[in-house]
């Protein structure tokens, strides 16, 4: 495996937050 890249970790972290926010917004708009 490649050694962990801080930029890659940050990208995954931001992507996870975006998915969570998108899911919350989806449920708010749905109900």
pLDDT for 1 equals 57
Q: Buried (b) or exposed (e) across 3-27, using 16+ Cβ within 10 A?
A: eeeeeeeeeeeeeeeeeeeeeeeee
Instruction: Decide: helix, strand or coil at residue 2.
Output: coil
Per-residue pLDDT tens digits for 16-26: 999 999 999 99
If one counts the domains in the chain, the total is 1
pLDDT for 28 equals 96
pTM metric for this prediction: 0.59
- Supply the range of the domain harboring residue 28: 1-31
């Amino acid at each position: 495996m490649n050694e962990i890249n801080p930029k890659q970790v940050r990208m995954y972290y931001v992507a996870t937050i975006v998915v969570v926010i998108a899911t919350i917004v989806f449920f708010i708009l749905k109900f």
